[in-house]
A = this chain, B = another copy of it.
Amino acid sequence: MSKITLKEISKILGISTSTVSKALKNYSDINVDTKIRVQELAKKHNYTPNAFAQSLRSRETKIIGILVPELVHHFFSSIIDGAINEAEKHGYLVIVLQSHESYEDEIKQLKLLVDKNIDGIMLSLSDKTVKYDHIRTIINEGMPVVLFDKITHLIDCPKVIIDDRKAAFSATEHLIKTGCKKIAHITGPLKPKTTIDRFMGYKIALETYNMPFNKTLIYTSENLSFEDGYNLAGQIMAEHPDIDGIFAFIDPVAIGVLKRLKEDKIKVPKQVSIIGFSNWFMSRTTSPALTTIDQPGYQIGRNAFQLLLKNLNHKREGKPFTSETVEIPTSVIIRQSTRAIMAPVI
């Protein structure tokens, strides 16, 4: 039997060959009715789905791309580690790229990946990204994309997240339950959703425990760096010498705080308790070791690849993309920079 061609399908259905081609590839700019008509006709000629599947299969490179803001960063390198190991199990290799927190670089790097005909993309948004058409276009052209960690709900695709608000609530709650009465928060640059969510978690925890919110207790670390923490700790203690707890947005900042307080002979956790966020490797090496929120990077990477794989398979089978969101649980890692939990205050 001779194979049915795109042209024949287009003639039978009275639509253009490019529409047929797009419908077979499940492009999202083709309406669902057309897709169903094209795909059913292709199936009816039982030899055609194979030809189609084969042509798609042969176009696969079995290479995917992962784009992160920064590679030399414990959390992101753990994510890449998880993604690479999971991808390898399924025969995929992983190209790694960095946006360096630049919107322009993000666009450029995604274009490089698309130009290489890779099969799919895992992406954590740069802090500067507030428009998403560059990503929507790629998805609309049939590229499976998964967002992780720094995501936006304005893009319709699978996502792997942690609940930053809930995690930050737990961090603040831990300080409250260990007896802190006046807690400062060091936040990050204001744009990214993670910053806002962590700040909100802090604020809601205070409200929940009937503690006053005082905006002079919010300090901003622009660079999320150890040095920022070191300097801000000096400023915090000068402006609010009666503070007894500090919740820092991310571990390096918390470790900077810790170092400064120790140098200034402020006892941790006796006078001031400190909690970080992310559970960087070094947080267990400090003295005292840092209490922090575990943000399991390896698992995030592994799950993100699994969601990508699902859509790689869906694409091959001509099914529409899924867009589920997987939330990875976080937990408080209790170490020595916070005090023991007190009996609940009734």
Which residues of A does B touch, CB under 8 Å? 61-63, 65, 71-74, 77-78, 80-81, 84-85, 88, 93-98, 112-113, 116, 226, 252, 255-256, 259, 262-263, 281-282, 284-287
Please determine whether B116 and A97 come into contact, CB atoms closer than 8 angstroms.
no
Please determine whether A97 and B84 come into contact, CB atoms closer than 8 angstroms.
yes
Please determine whether A72 and B81 come into contact, CB atoms closer than 8 angstroms.
yes
CB contact under 8 A between A81 and B74, given known A94-B95, A112-B93, A262-B287: no
**A94: which B residues are within 8 A, CB to CB?**
95-96
Please determine whether B62 and A80 come into contact, CB atoms closer than 8 angstroms.
no
* CA of A286 to CA of B230, assembled, Å: 12
**A84: which B residues are within 8 A, CB to CB?**
71, 96-98
14 inter-chain pairs at a CB distance below 8 angstroms, sorted by A residue, are A63-B95, A71-B80, A71-B81, A72-B78, A80-B96, A81-B98, A85-B98, A88-B97, A88-B112, A93-B95, A95-B95, A255-B282, A255-B285, A282-B282
List 9 additional contacts besides A63-B116, A226-B284, A263-B287; criterion CB under 8 Å.
A71-B81, A71-B84, A72-B74, A72-B81, A93-B97, A93-B112, A95-B96, A262-B287, A281-B282
**Residue from A73, A256, A287 having most chain B Cβ neighbours under 10 A:** A287
**A226: which B residues are within 8 A, CB to CB?**
284-285
Per CB-CB distance, the 9 closest pairs between chain A and chain B, nearest first, are: A282-B282, A96-B96, A72-B77, A93-B95, A77-B77, A255-B285, A72-B81, A71-B81, A226-B285
* CA of A71 to CA of B76, assembled, Å: 10
Determine the main DSSP class of A at the interface with B.
helix
Please determine whether B93 and A285 come into contact, CB atoms closer than 8 angstroms.
no
Question: A78 to nearest B CB, angstroms?
Answer: 5
**A256: which B residues are within 8 A, CB to CB?**
285
**A252: which B residues are within 8 A, CB to CB?**
285
Please determine whether A113 and B97 come into contact, CB atoms closer than 8 angstroms.
no
* CA of A120 to CA of B55, assembled, Å: 28
* CA of A98 to CA of B80, assembled, Å: 11
Question: A73 to nearest B CB, angstroms?
Answer: 8
Question: A12 to nearest B CB, angstroms?
Answer: 37
* CA of A255 to CA of B284, assembled, Å: 11
Please determine whether B62 and A71 come into contact, CB atoms closer than 8 angstroms.
no
**A112: which B residues are within 8 A, CB to CB?**
88, 93
**A287: which B residues are within 8 A, CB to CB?**
259, 262-263, 286-287
Question: A39 to nearest B CB, angstroms?
Answer: 31
* CA of A256 to CA of B78, assembled, Å: 22
Q: Which of B78, B85, B259 contacts A285 (CB 8 A)?
A: B259
* CA of A255 to CA of B95, assembled, Å: 33
**A71: which B residues are within 8 A, CB to CB?**
77, 80-81, 84
**A77: which B residues are within 8 A, CB to CB?**
71-73, 77
